[in-house]
Amino acid sequence: MTGAGAYALLALPFFVVVAVVAVVAGVVAARRARAAGRPASTGRRPALVTAMVAGIVLLVMTIVFDNVIVTLRIVAYDPALISGAKIGAIPIEDLAYAMAAIVLLPSLWVLFDRPTGPMAETGSMPETGPTPETGPTSETGPTSETGPTSETGPTSETGPTSETRPTSETGPTSETRPSQEEEPTR
Amino acid sequence: MPGLYLAGLVVSLVGMTVLDARFRLFFWRAPWRAAVVMVVGVAFFLVWDALGVAAGIFFIGPQRLLIGVLLAPDVPLEELFFLLLLCYTTMNLTGFVGPVVSRRLRDAERSRS
């Protein structure tokens, strides 16, 4: 690969993969919704809005982070192989990673949900689809951090819980993913 | 100072873990599912990196901040941690924003009807 378009061109096949995975995730989510007796479009809009909002935040974070590591010369680019369009110190093509991530990873999250076990499209799915892995900790009480889910380590039950409680309107833990759309919890 | 970048990445990852635990965003919502998403995501971006390096587009600059361990030519150990951070941040963000968006949309729906 040569020329100023090389870095942009590199992203292309990966974007194609991301798009395919996203479409498949959308189809699977629609089937699950239908199997649960809801419109196939259930959860589509929240999922898209979430990706937009989270994507903007992620892009901002990426611009800051990448500017730091490029300025520190941890990573460098062949000036002949990038477009030359920059945001601060970073080539604009760098943003492709974040753009791919915000679509690919939530799509994978949807695909790897196994509501009943084998594969998703069978008809008998529980409404909110608590996955086998989440077990009892998924929707329930706030104090169960020590439970079976704490495989990622020791930080779980420590300090942060004692700090500012997000009493506002948030509390994202009490609900499921936008892509699988749940009944109102309140 | 060698190790500074890695230290920064590890601190950030710990921060992500704390947020995850506190708000039950990703691993604390479904640990196995989260683990699979992370593995596939990081693998995907490592392939991307490998091709970029192979094409000569990006490479390690003249710095003194890496510890010097390479996973492959011009792919430092730190890149693995960076990709873990990218994926974890993405999913924590999605896990946090998702329910808020859902609720807002639902409230809007309700107030319309």
- Token look-up 């990573």 returns A75
d(CA B88, CA B17): 8
Choose from B97, B105, B112 for mutation: most chain A CBs within 10 A: B97
Contacts of A98 in chain B (CB under 8 A): 86, 90
This model of the complex carries an ipTM of 0.95
Mean pLDDT of chain A: 74
Give the residue-averaged pLDDT of A4-12. 96
Give the residue-averaged pLDDT of A28-47. 93
Instruction: Tell whether B43 lies on the interface with A, counting CB pairs under 8 A.
Output: no
Which CA distances in Å does A60 have to A53, A79, A164, B80?
A: 11, 24, 25, 21
pLDDT band (50, 70, 90) for residue A42: confident
Q: Where are the alpha helices (DSSP H) in chain A?
A: 6-35, 44-71, 95-111
d(CA A17, CA B12): 28
Whether residue B96 is contained in a domain is answered as no
Contact B106 A184 (CB under 8 A): yes
Confidence check: pLDDT of A117 > 70: no
pLDDT at A115: 67
DSSP label of A40:
T
Q: Tell me, yes or no, if the pTM score tops 0.80.
A: no
pLDDT at B30: 97
Whether residue B98 is contained in a domain is answered as no
A87-101, A121-135, B33-47, range with the lowest pLDDT: A121-135
Domain hosting residue B36, numbered range = 1-6+28-85
Give the residue-averaged pLDDT of A22-48. 94
Q: Which residue has the higher pLDDT, A126 or A64?
A: A64
pLDDT in tens, A45-79: 999 999 999 999 999 999 999 999 999 999 999 99
pLDDT at A116: 55
pLDDT band (50, 70, 90) for residue A34: very high
Whether residue B72 is contained in a domain is answered as yes
pLDDT in tens, B54-73: 999 999 999 999 999 999 99
Residue A67 phi/psi, 5-degree rounding, is -60, -35
A82-86, A114-118, B39-43, range with the lowest pLDDT: A114-118
d(CA A27, CA A33): 10
Q: At CB < 8 A and 24+ separation, what contacts does A112-118 make?
A: A112/B33, A112/B36, A112/B37, A113/A180, A113/B30, A113/B33, A115/A32
Contact B101 A53 (CB under 8 A): yes
SS3 state of residue A91? strand
Beta bridge partners of B29: none
Whether residue B95 is contained in a domain is answered as no
Give the residue-averaged pLDDT of B22-47. 98
Confidence check: pLDDT of B22 > 60: yes
SS3 state of residue B1? coil
d(CA A117, CA A58): 32
Please name the amino acid found at residue A120. Answer: A
Size of interface A-B (CB pairs under 8 A): 205
B46 CB-near residues (< 8 Å, 6+ apart):
B75, B79, B80, B83
How many domains is chain B built from?
Answer: 1
pLDDT at A114: 79
Whether residue B2 is contained in a domain is answered as yes
Give the residue-averaged pLDDT of A156-183. 41
Confidence check: pLDDT of A133 > 90: no
Number of C-beta neighbours around residue A180 at 10 A: 24
